[in-house]
Structure 1
Amino acid sequence: MKIFSAAQMRMADEFTVASQKITSLDLMERAATQIFNMLHQRLQGAPIPIHVFCGLGNNGGDGLVVSRLLIEHGYDVKTYIVNFSNNRSKDFLENYDRLKSILSEWPIQLKSDDNFPVIKKDDMVIDAIFGIGLNRPLLPWVISLIKHINASRCFVISIDVPSGLYADKVPDDPEGVIYAATTVTFQLPKLIFFLPETGQYSRDLEVIDIGLDRDFINKTPGFAELVGKNEVLSLYRPRHKFAHKGDYGHGVIIGGSYGKIGSVVLATEALLRIGAGLATAYIPECGYEIMQTSVPEAMVVTDREDNFITNISIDFEPGVIGIGIGLGIDDKTIQGFETFLKQNKSNLVIDADGINILAKKPQFLDLIPAKTVLTPHPGELKRLLGDWKDDFDKIEKTKVFSNAHECIIVIKGANTLIVYKDTVFVNTSGNPGMATAGSGDVLTGIITGLISQGYDPLHAAVFGVYLHGSSGDIAIKETGYQGLLASDIVSNIGRSYLELFKQPEQQIALEK
């Protein structure tokens, strides 16, 4: 699913109005009616006091329509106008008049922090103060209003985005943003819902179709791409009846040092579980018995050094090599890494200390092949790129780096991002339990194993990140968040493939 910028969403609105020969007021009515339908279906006329806070632009206009429809259906509604400016949009004014025509008392005007309403914990708030068009800091009294709403701890529904969030940067005041229980956003998701600094403001997200022009959406490149089951299904490559292990490649995992052989065990088993035909682990001598007994399906080659890798010598040319996990940054290891890069002709997936070495020796970046996949966690990424101002700046710096070195960067975390040049993919699978030792090593093995099978490195990164998260999602049904181990993720890789093809009713039955 595409993610549009605020400017692209405005263009989609304008194109829809022109192509469907409707007015912007008609489109507002359509969008707000969809929100009302969702609310009405869930509330079923429940006598819950509902407070609707409306700004002065089109987001406020949406709120006015929702308020009017709720009142017309018998709900207990109070509507507040948040007067932060002397300007009002044309559609806001029209819907304000429509709402006034059915009220015995006009909407309550808020102009300072002197007359904030009492909001009880069992009430509901509908937040329609600001939309994605917010472009300046909030007035102090408006920030106080937002804090007042948050302090009520009631159920808050935000229309399009939680008020106080910008579309393309972090908020000026982290406390001046609505904490929404649910955000109902129009047509397409927004990037702010998936970044650590801005995603925290909405616990749940619902995307509703408001009938924006399909042709415009299909033909307009997204600001980013949201990756879910439907998106990765098109990447899946089924096996044929007469396949043999040679059809699915030979992947190599290079890494490990004394006390860190487990990382290679996890990555190598993940490489095989994801479907590689053959696997070889290249490790220091100290890990030989561990690897042979832990992953008997894999072949093992050892370095001449006992405790860490110094000289990488492989007498065949694999389709792909995953390197860096548990590797260490000893001077001799760095020298061996440089020699390896100069001689290598295989696709690469570089993680952990491999990335740390690249950060320490940036000249080595000239030696990596095109479409090398780098899989840093935030700390490793910072060593590679330098500091960034916020999540948006981080993405822009990553794009610049990817363009400069023609590499694919997997920024690990909640909603892992995959960046290739100017394209950003946002993953939707995974859970907090995966913040555990070894989870990244498993991901390295998964991506390496997919490339081994012939997947394009970018497709392998996108598909691999999704399957990695899906495996974790399946595993926590047995372990819970705190009990999840990286080996549990490996054990559920096969089930993550099966889950791709389950129909919704099958999934419900499975979970029961």
Structure 2
Amino acid sequence: MKIFGASEVRKADEITIQNQQITSTDLMERAATQVYLWLKQEFPDKETLFHVFCGQGNNGGDGLVIARLLKQDNYNVMLNIVESAGKPSADFLINFERAKEVGITNNNKENDQYTKGKLVIIDAIFGIGLTREPDEAVKMIINQINNSSATVVAVDVPSGMFLDKKTEIAVQVDYVLTFQFPKLAFYLSDNYKYSKTIKILDIGLDKEFLDTTTSHYHLIDRAEALKRYKPLLPYAHKGTQGHVLIIGGSYGKIGAVCLSTKAALKTGCGLVTAYIPECGYEIMQSYFPEAMVLTDGEREIEKIDYDIKPNAISIGVGIGQNPKTQKALHNFLKKNTIPLVIDADALNMISGNKDWLTLIPQNTIVTPHPKELERLLGNWEDDFDKLEKLKSFSKKHNVIIVAKDARTLVVQRDDVYINTSGNAALATGGSGDVLAGIITSLLAQGYAPVSAAIFGVYLHGLTADVAVKEISGQSFIASDIIKYLSKAYNNIVPQV
């Protein structure tokens, strides 16, 4: 799903108004009606009080329509016009008159005495047009909303959130009901606290414009993941499903390779070989008999030498940074031409020797967690600066970056793919080792590198979404990711 910026959103509105021969007031009515219908379904109890905070721009106009529709449906409605939030727009004034016609008036009073039913705050103060920090009066209202015990619903965007720069203060909402397509700012780590749940409402914007307008930002949901899925063919055998080589492990960290190796085979590759130090041989053969094993060095990998021909290689999980291991990695990078996934300490060693980046194959996938990413890129000022650094690094070194986080980003040159699957259950040791195995498996099965990264991240996250319906998120561990891979696959592609 494409993600558009504020300028594209405005253009989509203009084209829709022109091609559908409607007014901006008609489009506002249509958009606000979708919010009203969602609210009616989510809060059917007519004792609910909707406390609507409206700015005086078009977002405030949306809020006025919502307030009117709720009032006409016999809900309790209270309206606050935030007069310091900009000058009244034409559509705001039209809908303010319509609201008054059904008995809604501006009531700038607190409502602490309301006790009949659920209190829901509707945030319609600012929309996508915000370009400056809110003034002190508006900040006070935002803080009052954030300190309330009400359920908070934002119209299009949480008020105070900027779409193209760092947000300093914004309404913290339980739901943001955004129009037609997602907004990039929702999914950046600096803004996690501002929106718990994001709902995208179709308001019928011009389909041709949406289809033909390009974007470098994409949201990966089930439909987008399914586009990249490669089914298991009826005539497949282990020789057609790809051979993965997992290089890693050191004394005390053999578990990382066990997890990665098992994840690779459970994701669908036909063969998997683990290349590990000798201290892990019995562990690996006992833990995972389906794996083949090659060994080198006693406690760490000291050289990397093999005579097999894998289709994809992962290097780094549990490998450590012993000087002999660093030399082995350098020599491996100088001669390897096979599709590659680099993770964990292999990334850390490369961060200390950045000239090694010139040795890796084109479209190599690197999978750093936040601290590993910082070592690769250096510091960034905010999420928008981080995005620019990610794109610049990807272009300079011709790599695909899987920037792991609560919302993992896959970056290939100027294109950024934001993953939507997964939850906090994945915050557990070994999760990244499993992800490296999953992505490498998909590479070996013939997925294009960027598709392997995108589909692998989505599949990995989906295991946790499926699992928390059955087990506690706190008890979820990396082995459970592997356990739930089958159910995650079936969730993406239901079996007939």
Question: TM class, shorter-chain normalised?
Answer: over 0.9
How far apart are the structure 2 equivalents of 1:472 and 1:75? 38
Matches within 5 A, 1:163-182: 163-172=159-168, 176-182=169-175
How far apart are the structure 2 equivalents of 1:485 and 1:133? 43
In the alignment, is residue 240 of structure 1 matched against residue 248 of structure 2? no
Contact 1:265 1:294 in 2 (8 A): yes
How far apart are the structure 1 equivalents of 2:80 and 2:457? 44
Cα deviation code 1:139-176 (max 9, x no counterpart): 1121111111222211111100111111122212xxx3
Query: In the alignment, which residue of structure 2 is the partner of 1:106?
Result: 105
Which residue of 355, 366, 386 maps to 1:394? 386
Amino acid in the other structure paired with 1:125: I
Query: In the alignment, which residue of structure 2 is the partner of 1:446?
Result: 438
Contact 1:189 1:207 in 2 (8 A): yes
For residue 26 of structure 1, report the CA deviation from its aligned partner. 1.0
Matches within 5 A, 1:255-274: 255-274=248-267
Change over 3 Å in CA distance of 1:479–1:100 after alignment to 2: closer
How far apart are the structure 2 equivalents of 1:99 and 1:203? 30
Question: Partner of 1:482: helix, strand, or coil?
Answer: helix
Question: Partner of 2:453: helix, strand, or coil?
Answer: helix
How far apart are the structure 1 equivalents of 2:166 and 2:114? 29
Query: In the alignment, which residue of structure 1 is the partner of 2:492?
Result: 500
Change over 3 Å in CA distance of 1:188–1:119 after alignment to 2: farther
For residue 195 of structure 1, report the CA deviation from its aligned partner. 2.0
Cα RMSD (Å):
1.7
Cα deviation code 1:93-150 (max 9, x no counterpart): 22122222333x7323x6xxxx655475842211100012111011112111111122
Matches within 5 A, 1:424-435: 424-435=416-427
Change over 3 Å in CA distance of 1:42–1:302 after alignment to 2: closer
In the alignment, is residue 479 of structure 1 matched against residue 471 of structure 2? yes
Amino acid in the other structure paired with 1:91: D
Query: In the alignment, which residue of structure 1 is the partner of 2:410?
Result: 418
Q: Bigger CA drift: 214-223 or 363-372?
A: 214-223
Cα deviation code 1:412-470 (max 9, x no counterpart): 12121111111111111111111101010000000000111111111100111111111
In the alignment, is residue 150 of structure 1 matched against residue 149 of structure 2? no
Change over 3 Å in CA distance of 1:78–1:479 after alignment to 2: closer
Which residue of 248, 251, 270 maps to 2:244? 251
Contact 1:17 1:27 in 2 (8 A): yes
Contact 1:120 1:154 in 2 (8 A): no
Query: In the alignment, which residue of structure 2 is the partner of 1:162?
Result: 158
Amino acid in the other structure paired with 2:490: L
In the alignment, is residue 216 of structure 1 matched against residue 209 of structure 2? yes
In the alignment, is residue 189 of structure 1 matched against residue 182 of structure 2? yes
Contact 1:249 1:453 in 2 (8 A): yes
Contact 1:280 1:301 in 2 (8 A): yes
For residue 332 of structure 1, report the CA deviation from its aligned partner. 1.6
Q: Bigger CA drift: 130-139 or 33-42?
A: 33-42
Question: Partner of 2:439: helix, strand, or coil?
Answer: helix
Cα deviation code 1:453-503 (max 9, x no counterpart): 111111100111111111222233343111111111112212221222339
How far apart are the structure 1 equivalents of 2:113 and 2:135? 21
Question: Partner of 2:129: helix, strand, or coil?
Answer: coil
Q: Bigger CA drift: 121-130 or 37-46?
A: 37-46
How far apart are the structure 1 equivalents of 2:488 and 2:308? 32
Gaps of 5+ in 1: 507-512
How far apart are the structure 1 equivalents of 2:349 and 2:253? 17
For residue 282 of structure 1, report the CA deviation from its aligned partner. 0.6
In the alignment, is residue 404 of structure 1 matched against residue 396 of structure 2? yes
Amino acid in the other structure paired with 1:346: I
Contact 1:120 1:152 in 2 (8 A): no
In the alignment, is residue 298 of structure 1 matched against residue 291 of structure 2? yes
How far apart are the structure 2 equivalents of 1:239 and 1:320? 18
Change over 3 Å in CA distance of 1:463–1:85 after alignment to 2: closer
How far apart are the structure 1 equivalents of 2:355 and 2:111? 61
Change over 3 Å in CA distance of 1:328–1:66 after alignment to 2: same
How far apart are the structure 2 equivalents of 1:477 and 1:72? 38
How far apart are the structure 2 equivalents of 1:287 and 1:493? 25
Change over 3 Å in CA distance of 1:285–1:135 after alignment to 2: same
In the alignment, is residue 225 of structure 1 matched against residue 218 of structure 2? yes
In the alignment, is residue 80 of structure 1 matched against residue 77 of structure 2? no
Contact 1:350 1:375 in 2 (8 A): yes
Contact 2:5 2:183 in 1 (8 A): yes
In the alignment, is residue 367 of structure 1 matched against residue 363 of structure 2? no
Residues matched between the structures, number: 494
Q: Bigger CA drift: 433-442 or 118-127?
A: 118-127
Cα deviation code 1:48-79 (max 9, x no counterpart): 22211100111001011111222222222121
Which residue of 126, 130, 135 maps to 2:131? 135
Question: Partner of 2:379: helix, strand, or coil?
Answer: coil
In the alignment, is residue 337 of structure 1 matched against residue 333 of structure 2? no
Change over 3 Å in CA distance of 1:45–1:473 after alignment to 2: closer
Query: In the alignment, which residue of structure 1 is the partner of 2:309?
Result: 317
Cα deviation code 1:242-264 (max 9, x no counterpart): 22111011110001111001100
Query: In the alignment, which residue of structure 1 is the partner of 2:458?
Result: 466
Change over 3 Å in CA distance of 1:16–1:328 after alignment to 2: same
How far apart are the structure 2 equivalents of 1:43 and 1:285? 61
Contact 1:439 1:486 in 2 (8 A): yes
In the alignment, is residue 38 of structure 1 matched against residue 30 of structure 2? no
Question: Partner of 2:210: helix, strand, or coil?
Answer: helix
Contact 2:367 2:402 in 1 (8 A): yes
Question: Partner of 2:428: helix, strand, or coil?
Answer: coil
Contact 2:85 2:126 in 1 (8 A): no
What's the TM-score, normalizing by structure 2? Answer: 0.96
Contact 1:317 1:345 in 2 (8 A): no
Amino acid in the other structure paired with 1:32: A
Question: Partner of 1:234: helix, strand, or coil?
Answer: helix
For residue 241 of structure 1, report the CA deviation from its aligned partner. 2.1
How far apart are the structure 1 equivalents of 2:165 and 2:81? 26
Contact 2:57 2:86 in 1 (8 A): no
How far apart are the structure 1 equivalents of 2:481 and 2:337? 30
Change over 3 Å in CA distance of 1:171–1:86 after alignment to 2: closer
For residue 45 of structure 1, report the CA deviation from its aligned partner. 5.8
Gaps of 5+ in 2: none
How far apart are the structure 1 equivalents of 2:85 and 2:257? 60
How far apart are the structure 2 equivalents of 1:223 and 1:93? 36
How far apart are the structure 2 equivalents of 1:157 and 1:165? 14
Q: Bigger CA drift: 264-273 or 225-234?
A: 225-234
Identity, % of aligned positions: 49
Contact 2:394 2:400 in 1 (8 A): yes
How far apart are the structure 2 equivalents of 1:456 and 1:120? 57
